[in-house]
């Protein structure tokens, strides 16, 4: 009998990761992490409850709750697999969200009363997280490309009690330039090479041409993100892929096209610095201020995050 990892689909995915073997530390540990299921994480919705109250309710349902020290509003749940079927979910007390998926909004750190843009917002995990960080004050513009995707977003905004967010339908790279935002989150659509574990649907990143295609789209998006940012504001660019074409190359594109862009330092969890070179490409030394999260170093999705300021 063939092992699951021997299935043709999964073999093609693993070959895709081979393209990046030189930048992934502890290759065998990385492969072992891909073979394990991703943990069940939820984020406490502080617009409707407190971590203490929610933990008690979940434990009464038989869940084993582990509070994640890197974000105490994130619980790891064991023994409660149907997180989307509980009454607590429908009441909006929590939202299923991977630990590393909460990091971009933590790095962006939107403040109460600010004007914030979420450029690729659906299904709304990061939008609703930012609304809670802002205590439902200020204003978030949450954008996504289709009516259907914005429909999912609106459903989560309503379920989680978000009142400070308006939605927009359209390509992120075509957001009008006449507005200027205090902070911008671009959690860009990507090839998904950080968000795959054995048994999940195959990511687009198993095809090299799709990685290149996404990189070109992201380059247009990050320029518009920077152009609608106020001077002195902060842009966070993030993806759930490990591909340098979609990460460091995209940030380098911004640095080359917009002289006022600068990388900002941050520290959050066990991460590796961004790359300054890959194959025949050279990147600015300041890209070491970006952070790469790997699933065998932190048991969650793989992620890339860069914080960017505007002078």
The first and second tokens of residue 72, run together, are 């105490």
In a domain, 200, yes or no: yes
What's the domain range around 213? 99-310
pLDDT, position 7 = 52
In a domain, 297, yes or no: yes
In a domain, 3, yes or no: no
d(CA 264, CA 310): 10
Walking along the chain (311 residues) 10 residues at a time, the average pLDDT comes out as 50 91 96 94 98 98 97 96 93 98 98 98 98 98 98 98 98 95 98 92 91 97 98 98 98 98 97 97 98 97 98 95
Per-residue exposure over 133-153, b if at least 16 CB sit within 10 Å of its own CB, e if not:
bbebebebbbbbbeeebbeeb
Domain CATH number, residue 139 = 3.40.50.150
d(CA 190, CA 151): 21
Cα torsion angle, 157, 241, 179, 148, sign:
negative
In a domain, 43, yes or no: no
Q: Give yes or no for a contact between 173 and 224, defined as CB atoms under 8 angstroms apart.
A: yes
Q: Which residues contact 243 (CB under 8 A, 6 or more apart)?
A: 19, 20, 190, 191, 193, 205, 211, 215
Confidence (pTM):
0.95
The maximal CA–CA distance of the chain, rounded, in angstroms, is 61
Which residue blocks in 77-236 are alpha helix, DSSP H? 87-90, 103-108, 125-133, 147-159, 208-227
In a domain, 44, yes or no: no
- Residue 123 preceded by cis peptide, ω within 30: yes
Among 16, 105, 240, 271, which one carries the catalytic annotation?
240
Q: Give yes or no for a contact between 58 and 80, defined as CB atoms under 8 angstroms apart.
A: yes
In a domain, 183, yes or no: yes
C-alpha 155, offset from chain centre = 20
In a domain, 80, yes or no: no
pLDDT, position 2 = 37
- Is 190 one of the annotated active-site residues of the chain? no
Query: What domain count does the chain have?
Result: 1
């Amino acid at each position: 009998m063939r092992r699951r990892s021997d299935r043709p689909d999964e073999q093609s995915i693993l070959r895709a990761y081979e393209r990046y073997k030189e930048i992934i530390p502890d290759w065998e540990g990385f492969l072992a992490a891909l073979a394990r299921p991703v943990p069940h994480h939820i984020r406490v919705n502080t617009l409707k409850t407190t971590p203490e109250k929610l933990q008690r309710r979940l434990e009464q349902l038989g869940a084993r709750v582990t509070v994640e020290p890197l974000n105490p509003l994130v619980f790891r749940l064991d023994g409660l697999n149907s997180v989307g079927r509980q009454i607590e979910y429908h009441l909006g007390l929590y939202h299923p969200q991977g630990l590393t998926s909460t990091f971009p909004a933590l790095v962006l750190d939107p403040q109460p009363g600010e004007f914030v843009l979420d450029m690729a917002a659906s299904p709304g995990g990061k939008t609703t997280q930012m609304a809670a960080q802002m205590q439902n004050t200020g204003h978030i513009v949450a954008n996504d490309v289709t009516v259907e995707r914005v429909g999912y977003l609106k459903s989560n905004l309503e379920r989680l009690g978000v009142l400070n967010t308006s939605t927009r339908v359209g390509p992120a790279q075509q957001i009008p330039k006449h507005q200027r935002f205090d902070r911008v989150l671009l959690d860009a659509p990507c090839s998904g090479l950080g968000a795959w574990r054995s048994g999940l649907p195959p990511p687009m990143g198993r095809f090299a041409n799709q990685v290149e295609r996404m990189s070109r789209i992201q380059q247009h998006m990050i320029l518009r993100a920077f152009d609608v940012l106020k001077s002195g504001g902060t842009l966070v660019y993030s993806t759930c892929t490990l591909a340098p074409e979609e990460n460091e190359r995209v940030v380098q594109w911004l640095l080359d096209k917009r002289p006022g862009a600068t990388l900002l330092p941050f520290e959050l969890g066990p991460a590796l610095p961004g790359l300054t070179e890959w194959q025949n490409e050279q990147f600015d030394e300041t890209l070491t201020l970006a952070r790469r999260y790997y699933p065998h170093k932190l048991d969650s999705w793989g992620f890339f995050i860069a914080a960017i300021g505007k002078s």
